[in-house]
Structure 1
Amino acid sequence: MSRSVETGSVSSPVTAEDVDLAVRLAVGVLRDAPPEGWGAKAGSLEWDCWETAEHLANDLFYYAAQLGPQSPPLDTHVPFALSQKRPEGPKVFVYAERAAGPAGLLQVLEACGALLVAMVRTTPPRVRAHHAAGVSDPEGFAALALQETLVHMHDLAEGFGLAWTPPSALCSRVLTRLFPGAPAGEDPWLTLLWATGRAELPGHPRLTRWRSDSTPRS
C-alpha cells in the first residue's frame, strides 16, 4: 500500500464501493439542479452542463469497457467510434436521449457507473488494460473514475451554483493513486482541485497543464 497525502498514514486502495459512493453522491446533487441550467457553461470548461454530465457517463462506460475483453489491448483503447455534436463539445460514444430530459441523463450516468462498479468488483487484480495515463489495473480505473466524477462534479456545481464537497477520504485515495507527487499537508479536496488545474494551493500556483498516472503502484 502507498502513503496517504493527507496524513502520512498507510492509505487503503480505491475500491468499487468508492466509485459507487461518488456516483450516488453526484447524482443526488444533480437531481437538485435547476432544469433551465443544463445549457449553462460548466465551470471553467467549454462544455455546457449537459455535455459535461454526458462526458462523465462516457468516462465511466469507457473504463468499464477497457476491462471487458478477454485479452484487453495494452497499446490502444477498445475501438468504440467517437463523435461530436458540435466542434467545441466532448467526443463521446454514448448519448442520452434529450427527450428524456435531465432525469434520463442521470439514469444514463447511474447506469454507466454501475457497469464500472461491476467490472471493478469482478475483474482480477492482475488484469491490465490501456489508458492514456498509463496501462492500468482495475483499481487504477476505479481511481480514474473517482477523479473524473469528483472533479467534473466541481465543474457542474459551479455551472449550476450548487454546493459540492466530496468526502476527504475519497480525495485522499485518488491523490495517492493518481497524483503521488502532489503536495502533502493540505486539504485533500483542494489539493485534488489543484492537481487537476482548477485551484491554487498556498505556495503552489494554479496548474495550466496536468496529468494523472494510472499505472499500478506494485
Structure 2
Amino acid sequence: MWSPPAPGPVTADDVALAVRLSVHTLGKVPADGWERPAGELTWSCWETVEHLADDLFAYALQLGPATPPLTTHVPVSWRQERPDGPTSTVFVARTEGPAGLLQALEACGALLVAMVRVTAPEVRAHHVFGAADPEGFGAMGVVEALVHTHDVAAAFGLPWQPPADLCARTLHRLFPDAPADAEPWPALLWSTGRIELPGRARLEKWHWHGEPRG
C-alpha cells in the first residue's frame, strides 16, 4: 500500500517562522487583555507567553555546553511568581508592557534558532521526554510556539492557522502516533491535548518523543 513520503526535517528556519508568526499574532492582543486566562489554561496570557519564551530559552540552553547534559537540565534557577503560575527562568518586567514581552519572546526564539542552526546533528541533550538532537529541540520550540499562541489567540477569538507543512514536519518528528487521517494542524492540537477529533476523545495526558526517530 502506498503511503506519502515523510515531510522532511524540522529546521532552524522552521523555528524562526513559528516564532515570527507567533509574535505577529500576539501583537494583536489588546493591551488591557494580558491578564485574561489563556484559553483553557490557568495561566494568564502574559504568563503563557513568558512560559513560551522560557521554553525557547531552555531548549537553546540545553544545546549550549560543549558537552550537553544527558541526565538533567543545565543548572539555572527556576521559580514561580505565584503558586499556580508557570515555573520559569525568564520573566519580563511588567513595566515594559506587551512590547517588552514580545521582544523577549523574539530574543529567546532567536537563541534557539541559532543553536539549532550551529549544533552538530549528532549532539544529544537531556529532555524529560527523551534525549533529543538539535532537530528535536527545534521541533519542541515549534510546538510550544504554535500551541501556546493558539491558547492566547483563543482567549480573544484571534485567527490562528499555522502552515500545514510546518505542522506536518513537527508531528513527524515528535508525535509518531499522531492521527494520519487528520489535517496536520488539528492533529497537532489533538496530540497536545487541546481538542478532540472525530472518533478520538481529547487526550487528558500527552507527551512528545524527544529521541530521534530511527
- TM tier relative to shorter chain: over 0.9
Q: Which runs of 4+ in 1 moved over 4 A?
A: none
Query: Do structure 1's residue 122 and structure 2's residue 121 form an aligned pair?
Result: no
Q: 1:159 Cα shift?
A: 1.6
Residue in structure 2 matched with residue 165 of structure 1 by the alignment: 161
- 1:140-184 CA deviation, whole Å, 9 max, x = no partner? 000100111101111010123211110001111111111111111
Structure 2 runs not aligned, ≥5 long: none
> Percent identical across equivalent pairs?
59
Deviation per residue, 1:76-125 (Å, 9 max, x gap): 01011101110000001111111000000000000000000000000000
**Which residue among 147, 150, 163 is the counterpart of 1:151?**
147
Report the 3-state secondary structure (helix = DSSP H, G, I; strand = E; otherwise coil) of the residue aligned with 2:13. Answer: helix
- Cα distance in 2 for partners of 1:183, 1:102 equals 36
1:39-118 maps to which residues of 2 (within 5 A)?
39-118=35-114
Q: Please name the residue that 1:13 is paired with.
A: 9
Q: Which residue of the partner structure matches residue 185 of structure 1? A: 181
TM-score, scaled to structure 2: 0.97
| Separation in 2, partners of 1:79, 1:43 | 31
Residue identity matched to 1:9: P
Out of 185, 197, 201, the position equivalent to 1:201 is 197
Q: CA deviation at 1:11?
A: 1.7
Q: CA deviation at 1:196?
A: 0.6
TM-score, normalised to structure 1, is 0.95
Q: How many residues get paired?
A: 212
Q: What runs of 5+ residues in structure 1 fail to find an aligned partner?
A: 1-6
Aligned match of 1:132: 128
